[in-house]
Amino acid sequence: MVDVLNRMDPPSEPCLYRLDAHDAFVFVNTQWLMFARANQPPETAQQSLVGSSLWDFIRDRETSHIYRLLLQRIRATRGRITIPFHADTANQVREMEMELIPFAEGLVQLRSTLVSLRDRGDEPEGRHADPSELLILCSWCSNICTGEGKWADIEVGIRELDLFSMRTLPQLTHGICPSCRDIYLKGLPEGNDI
Ligand SMILES: [Zn+2]
Protein backbone atom coordinates (compact mmCIF):
# COMPACT_ATOMS: atom_id res chain seq x y z
CA MET A 1 0.00 0.00 0.00
CA VAL A 2 1.35 3.43 -0.85
CA ASP A 3 1.33 4.85 2.62
CA VAL A 4 4.28 6.43 4.38
CA LEU A 5 3.06 5.02 7.68
CA ASN A 6 3.72 1.56 6.36
CA ARG A 7 7.19 2.27 4.98
CA MET A 8 9.32 1.75 8.03
CA ASP A 9 12.95 0.86 7.81
CA PRO A 10 14.26 -1.17 9.51
CA PRO A 11 11.12 -2.95 10.67
CA SER A 12 12.64 -5.07 13.44
CA GLU A 13 11.23 -2.93 16.28
CA PRO A 14 7.55 -2.06 16.57
CA CYS A 15 6.64 1.32 15.17
CA LEU A 16 4.20 2.89 17.55
CA TYR A 17 2.22 6.07 17.63
CA ARG A 18 -0.84 7.39 19.41
CA LEU A 19 -3.53 9.67 18.09
CA ASP A 20 -5.89 11.89 20.02
CA ALA A 21 -9.63 12.08 19.33
CA HIS A 22 -8.94 14.49 16.46
CA ASP A 23 -6.33 12.22 14.82
CA ALA A 24 -3.36 14.36 15.84
CA PHE A 25 -0.18 12.61 17.01
CA VAL A 26 0.22 12.73 20.78
CA PHE A 27 3.10 10.26 20.96
CA VAL A 28 5.54 8.67 18.52
CA ASN A 29 8.25 6.18 19.51
CA THR A 30 11.92 6.19 18.51
CA GLN A 31 11.32 3.75 15.68
CA TRP A 32 8.78 6.09 14.18
CA LEU A 33 11.17 9.03 14.56
CA MET A 34 13.94 7.06 12.82
CA PHE A 35 11.56 6.51 9.97
CA ALA A 36 10.48 10.15 9.93
CA ARG A 37 14.09 11.39 9.94
CA ALA A 38 14.96 9.11 7.05
CA ASN A 39 12.07 10.43 5.00
CA GLN A 40 11.78 14.04 6.01
CA PRO A 41 14.07 17.05 6.52
CA PRO A 42 16.55 16.50 9.39
CA GLU A 43 14.97 19.23 11.51
CA THR A 44 11.88 17.01 11.88
CA ALA A 45 11.82 16.19 15.56
CA GLN A 46 9.36 14.65 17.94
CA GLN A 47 8.08 18.11 18.89
CA SER A 48 7.16 18.91 15.31
CA LEU A 49 5.44 15.57 14.76
CA VAL A 50 3.46 15.66 17.96
CA GLY A 51 0.42 17.79 17.30
CA SER A 52 0.48 17.28 13.55
CA SER A 53 -2.38 15.51 11.89
CA LEU A 54 -2.35 11.90 10.70
CA TRP A 55 -3.99 13.11 7.51
CA ASP A 56 -0.87 15.08 6.55
CA PHE A 57 0.85 11.70 6.18
CA ILE A 58 -1.77 9.83 4.20
CA ARG A 59 -2.20 11.35 0.81
CA ASP A 60 -4.40 9.12 -1.29
CA ARG A 61 -8.16 9.26 -0.95
CA GLU A 62 -8.75 5.51 -0.70
CA THR A 63 -6.19 4.83 2.05
CA SER A 64 -7.36 7.86 3.96
CA HIS A 65 -11.00 6.74 3.74
CA ILE A 66 -10.17 3.22 4.97
CA TYR A 67 -8.12 4.59 7.88
CA ARG A 68 -10.98 6.94 8.80
CA LEU A 69 -13.40 4.01 8.88
CA LEU A 70 -11.00 1.93 10.99
CA LEU A 71 -10.55 4.74 13.51
CA GLN A 72 -14.28 5.44 13.57
CA ARG A 73 -15.00 1.77 14.20
CA ILE A 74 -12.41 1.32 16.92
CA ARG A 75 -13.62 4.42 18.79
CA ALA A 76 -17.23 3.24 18.53
CA THR A 77 -16.70 -0.40 19.50
CA ARG A 78 -13.69 0.08 21.84
CA GLY A 79 -12.39 -3.33 20.66
CA ARG A 80 -8.90 -4.01 19.31
CA ILE A 81 -8.37 -4.41 15.59
CA THR A 82 -5.46 -6.26 13.98
CA ILE A 83 -4.75 -5.77 10.30
CA PRO A 84 -2.09 -7.59 8.26
CA PHE A 85 -0.13 -5.55 5.73
CA HIS A 86 3.11 -5.57 3.77
CA ALA A 87 6.05 -3.15 3.94
CA ASP A 88 7.99 -4.78 1.11
CA THR A 89 11.13 -3.53 -0.54
CA ALA A 90 12.40 -4.46 -4.00
CA ASN A 91 14.40 -7.37 -2.53
CA GLN A 92 12.43 -8.39 0.52
CA VAL A 93 8.91 -9.46 1.39
CA ARG A 94 8.06 -8.03 4.80
CA GLU A 95 4.82 -9.18 6.34
CA MET A 96 3.67 -6.82 9.05
CA GLU A 97 0.77 -6.56 11.43
CA MET A 98 -0.85 -3.36 12.62
CA GLU A 99 -2.69 -3.42 15.92
CA LEU A 100 -5.09 -0.62 16.78
CA ILE A 101 -5.93 -0.29 20.47
CA PRO A 102 -8.55 2.14 21.79
CA PHE A 103 -8.07 4.09 25.00
CA ALA A 104 -10.27 6.57 26.86
CA GLU A 105 -11.36 9.86 25.29
CA GLY A 106 -10.85 8.80 21.69
CA LEU A 107 -7.15 8.07 22.05
CA VAL A 108 -5.97 5.28 19.73
CA GLN A 109 -2.61 3.51 19.68
CA LEU A 110 -1.33 2.07 16.41
CA ARG A 111 1.50 -0.42 16.68
CA SER A 112 3.08 -2.14 13.70
CA THR A 113 5.29 -5.20 14.11
CA LEU A 114 7.21 -7.39 11.73
CA VAL A 115 5.70 -10.87 11.39
CA SER A 116 8.01 -12.39 8.80
CA LEU A 117 10.82 -11.35 6.52
CA ARG A 118 12.10 -13.23 3.47
CA ASP A 119 14.06 -12.63 0.29
CA ARG A 120 11.76 -11.89 -2.57
CA GLY A 121 13.28 -14.36 -5.02
CA ASP A 122 10.83 -14.73 -7.90
CA GLU A 123 7.86 -13.64 -5.82
CA PRO A 124 6.08 -10.74 -7.53
CA GLU A 125 5.75 -7.38 -5.75
CA GLY A 126 2.38 -6.39 -4.28
CA ARG A 127 -0.08 -5.63 -7.03
CA HIS A 128 -1.53 -2.31 -8.11
CA ALA A 129 -5.31 -2.11 -8.38
CA ASP A 130 -6.70 -2.51 -11.85
CA PRO A 131 -8.11 0.83 -13.12
CA SER A 132 -11.55 -0.76 -13.48
CA GLU A 133 -11.45 -2.38 -10.04
CA LEU A 134 -13.86 -1.02 -7.45
CA LEU A 135 -14.01 -1.32 -3.69
CA ILE A 136 -17.67 -1.13 -2.69
CA LEU A 137 -18.55 0.16 0.77
CA CYS A 138 -22.04 0.16 2.22
CA SER A 139 -23.13 3.78 2.67
CA TRP A 140 -25.08 2.88 5.78
CA CYS A 141 -22.81 0.58 7.82
CA SER A 142 -19.45 0.92 5.99
CA ASN A 143 -19.16 -2.84 5.48
CA ILE A 144 -17.02 -3.87 2.51
CA CYS A 145 -18.19 -5.98 -0.41
CA THR A 146 -15.74 -8.90 -0.56
CA GLY A 147 -17.26 -10.68 -3.55
CA GLU A 148 -20.49 -11.29 -5.40
CA GLY A 149 -23.21 -10.81 -2.75
CA LYS A 150 -20.70 -11.13 0.11
CA TRP A 151 -20.10 -8.36 2.64
CA ALA A 152 -17.90 -8.11 5.70
CA ASP A 153 -17.08 -5.51 8.32
CA ILE A 154 -14.11 -3.25 7.70
CA GLU A 155 -11.56 -5.37 9.60
CA VAL A 156 -12.58 -8.70 8.03
CA GLY A 157 -12.97 -7.05 4.61
CA ILE A 158 -9.42 -5.66 4.67
CA ARG A 159 -8.14 -9.14 5.60
CA GLU A 160 -10.21 -11.04 3.04
CA LEU A 161 -9.30 -8.75 0.18
CA ASP A 162 -5.72 -8.40 1.50
CA LEU A 163 -6.11 -4.68 0.85
CA PHE A 164 -3.11 -3.48 2.83
CA SER A 165 -0.78 -5.70 0.81
CA MET A 166 -1.73 -3.85 -2.35
CA ARG A 167 0.52 -1.09 -3.63
CA THR A 168 -2.48 0.98 -4.64
CA LEU A 169 -6.06 0.49 -3.53
CA PRO A 170 -9.03 0.08 -5.88
CA GLN A 171 -11.28 3.10 -6.38
CA LEU A 172 -13.95 3.49 -3.73
CA THR A 173 -17.61 3.50 -4.49
CA HIS A 174 -20.72 3.13 -2.33
CA GLY A 175 -23.63 0.74 -2.33
CA ILE A 176 -25.96 -0.87 0.18
CA CYS A 177 -25.38 -4.25 1.80
CA PRO A 178 -28.26 -6.78 2.13
CA SER A 179 -28.67 -6.23 5.89
CA CYS A 180 -29.01 -2.47 5.49
CA ARG A 181 -31.32 -2.96 2.52
CA ASP A 182 -33.56 -5.07 4.77
CA ILE A 183 -33.44 -2.61 7.64
CA TYR A 184 -33.71 0.69 5.80
CA LEU A 185 -35.77 -0.13 2.73
CA LYS A 186 -38.24 -2.50 4.37
CA GLY A 187 -40.49 0.22 5.73
CA LEU A 188 -40.90 1.95 2.38
CA PRO A 189 -44.28 1.64 0.64
CA GLU A 190 -44.47 -0.85 -2.24
CA GLY A 191 -43.29 0.50 -5.56
CA ASN A 192 -40.51 2.64 -4.13
CA ASP A 193 -37.50 1.12 -5.83
CA ILE A 194 -34.15 2.47 -4.79
ZN1 LIG B 1 -24.74 -2.01 5.34
Predicted pLDDT of residue 167 = 86
Which residues keep their CB under 5 angstroms from ion ligand 1?
Answer: 138, 140-141, 143, 177, 180
What is the 3-state secondary structure of 129-166? CCCCCEEEEECCCCCEEEECCEEECHHHHHHHHCHHHC
Q: What is the CA radius of gyration of the chain?
A: 18
> Residue 117: enclosing H or E segment and its boundaries?
strand 108-119
- Beta carbons of 137 and 177 less than 8 angstroms apart: no
Query: Separation of 50 CA from ligand 1 center, angstroms?
Result: 36
Query: Separation of 79 CA from ligand 1 center, angstroms?
Result: 20
From first CA to last CA, the distance across the chain in angstroms is 35
Predicted pLDDT of residue 8 = 46
DSSP state of 53: B
Residue 137's alpha-carbon distances to 9, 15, 48, in angstroms, are: 32, 29, 35
Q: What is the pTM of this model?
A: 0.79
Query: Separation of 178 CA from ligand 1 center, angstroms?
Result: 7
* Domain annotation for the chain: domains and CATH numbers: 4-185 (3.30.450.20)
Query: Separation of 181 CA from ligand 1 center, angstroms?
Result: 7
Cβ-proximal residues to 35 (8 Å cutoff; 6+ apart), any chain: 7, 8, 9, 15
> Residue 82: enclosing H or E segment and its boundaries?
strand 81-86
What's the CA gap between 23 and 58, in Å, rounded? 12
- Spatial strand order of the sheet with 108-119 comes to 25-28, 15-19, 108-119, 92-102, 81-86
pLDDT tens for each residue of 141-174: 999 999 999 999 999 999 999 998 888 899 999 9
pLDDT tens for each residue of 51-70: 999 998 887 889 999 999 99
61-77 helix and 154-161 helix, angle to the nearest 10 degrees: 140
Residue numbers in the chain where pLDDT is lower than 50: 1-4, 6-8, 10, 194
Predicted pLDDT of residue 36 = 63
Query: Separation of 138 CA from ligand 1 center, angstroms?
Result: 5
Angle at CA of residue 147, ends 188 and 115, nearest 5°: 125
